[in-house]
Amino acid sequence: MAYDEGTDVDITHDVFLIHANEPKEDKVFALLKLKPLLERQNLKVLVDEEDFLGGETVFTNIARAVRRCQKSLIVLTEHSRESPWCSLELLLALEKSHRRNIMSVVVLRKGNSVEQQLALDMLNDVPHVDIQYDDDIEGKLDELVSIIKERKRTEELLPAGNIAHAQVWSHYFGLLQYLLPEMEALVEKTEIYKKYPTRFSKKLYELVPENCKCPRVIEDIPKDSSEKRITVMTEKLPKLTYVRSGNKRTVEMTIYCVRDTDGT
């Protein structure tokens, strides 16, 4: 039995297999095709279907699974990327990688789903194998097993040595490098700017709350105030379309009205 470096937790498995349970095809591929192939390579695989303990919360079981496995392998499909449980398992595995400075995540990207969401761009820097169809895994098995067995420090793989910096790096290369050069032109096309040219900034502002909890849409601050200081405008910036990693993407930025304490 090996040990998790930097902790006193016993490592009981080589791989924690993260996958979507719906639709059935994703589950069948993970449990009936991928898992047996890995086990034939003498890898001990932990899956929630068989190894989670009854009487304990799902979160407790997930956290234990991530700790007790050398690597977490996520089968990344359009369905698993939308699964809150898969997202939680992936985040815990990434946190472990950062804490130990040993990359503990391997991504099996199935299809082109990884390119459909900007937030996942950082996974391009995590060890990964790409397949298009279920049967492709047999031709990629040796590569996948090699990546699972290798040990690399997180700082060797991610741009600044930690997950937070990787997210910032991904945010710039996945969005800002395309958006910022077009900001002024996009703003000038809006009806709001044409009506109030001196009151509409041509810059992009990114507000980060002190508690670092960032909602998709910023709500009024404070919520219980009768005089709203932050409101979402009906009009948005014109759509910006660009090509990233060979895929066409379209973004549409929200416009906010921000008032001072005196209402101006």
Residue range 52-91, pLDDT digits in tens: 777 777 788 888 889 889 999 999 888 887 787 887 888 8
Q: What average pLDDT does range 184-210 have in this prediction?
A: 87
Query: What's phi and psi for 223, nearest 5 deg?
Result: -65, -35
Is the separation of the CB atoms in 178 and 242 below 8 Å?
A: yes
The 3-state DSSP composition of the chain as helix, strand, coil percent (nearest 5) reads 45, 20, 35
d(CA 187, CA 203): 9
Q: What is the CA radius of gyration of the chain?
A: 22
Cα–Cα distances in Å, from 160 out to 28, 94, 176, 237? 37, 14, 18, 32
Cα 107 to chain centroid distance, Å, stands at 11
Most confident of the following: 7-16, 81-90, 193-202, 251-260: 193-202
Q: How confident is the model at residue 141 (pLDDT cuts 50, 70, 90)?
A: very high
Model confidence, pTM: 0.58
Q: What is the pLDDT of residue 121?
A: 55
Q: Tell me the per-residue pLDDT of 154-185, one tens digit each, with 9 for 90 and over.
A: 777 765 545 555 566 567 667 887 888 899 99
d(CA 10, CA 6): 11
